Amino acid sequence: MKRYHIQHLALALSIALLSACNLSKDVEIDLPDYERQPVVECYLEPGKPFRLLLTRSYAFFDTLGLSSNFLQNALFDGAFVTISYNGQTDTLKNQLTLVPNPIKVFNYVGENLVPTAPGTSFSLFIRLPDGGEIRGNTTMLSVVPIDSIIVEPNAAGDTLARMLTYITDDQSKENFYRRLLNYSSLDSFPDQDFLVTDRFSQTASIAIGTGYELKQGDTVFNTIFHVTKDYYDFKESVDLAVIGNLNPFAQPSPIKSNVSGSANPVGIFTVLVYDRDTTIVEW
């Protein structure tokens, strides 16, 4: 008798679930008005001009598109932008600039070059046309060079190999890294792109590898970024926000910015220090 009731109960539940799946109902949700924010992206590369991208954020459901006025609406022009360091202040001109290989876009550019000395402090100041202000600070890091790159075939006579990239970590302090691995071109979608701290390693020598997926003649671009804690937190929060947008059950992930001020900005002001090596796979 118990088995009979259980079978009927299971059947009733199945019918109810199928009925629920076939029901559809339009639900209207009143979303609050979205207040667009200035977005700052400024990466100081040693020996390169001071360059900054200042844009406006968009609401999640806004249609971006590539209309004729898209750049005009996205780019934040007319701001007063300065970067101070070593007792001097540089003013960046509002000038749209495209840098190829890999492609980068900026709308504020300076005439002087970014100092290369580790420990140099930089202060960012932005005054928007409406009077809102943005501030940020960062410090130049030292380059962590790639010590060696080793190509290892899977087995004797095999057609596939892996690549091991070695760096030496300064274990007297906590360091943060970003690993980027591109095949064929720096503008290609990276095969590896991740953040890591030196806390995972108990030795100064750190090896970062690939799977056995490389063939004879492949071109590999190895890049090791030495990044600030601010950039590590920012990039991690952006990655989590992207993942959250792809998951309907995920909670929104806030962006961890290191810029602040009365303009209510989001974004990052940091240094971009890296070592890069290009390898033609042979063994």
Determine which of 71-75, 111-115, 239-243 has the lowest per-residue pLDDT on average. 71-75
**Is there a contact between 225 and 180 (Cβ–Cβ < 8 Å)?**
yes
Per-residue model confidence as pLDDT tens digits over 6-48: 455 455 555 555 555 555 567 676 666 778 899 999 999 999 9
Per-residue model confidence as pLDDT tens digits over 69-88: 656 678 999 999 999 999 99
CA 183 – CA 191 distance, rounded (Å) = 7
**Is there a contact between 205 and 168 (Cβ–Cβ < 8 Å)?**
yes
Q: What is the pLDDT of residue 69?
A: 64
- pLDDT-derived band at 199 (thresholds 50, 70, 90) equals confident
Strands 133-139 and 146-153, bridge-based pairing: unpaired
**Is there a contact between 74 and 96 (Cβ–Cβ < 8 Å)?**
no
Q: What is the pLDDT of residue 245?
A: 73
Q: What is the pLDDT of residue 23?
A: 53
Is the pLDDT assigned to residue 146 strictly greater than 70?
yes
User: Can you give the pTM of this predicted structure?
Assistant: 0.83
Dihedral pair phi/psi, residue 39, rounded to 5°: -115, 125
Per-residue model confidence as pLDDT tens digits over 161-196: 999 999 999 999 999 999 999 998 888 889 999 999
* Domains of the chain listed by start with CATH number: 38-142+228-273 (2.60.40.1080), 146-227+275-280 (2.60.40)
Give me the residue label for tokens 């596939």. Answer: 160
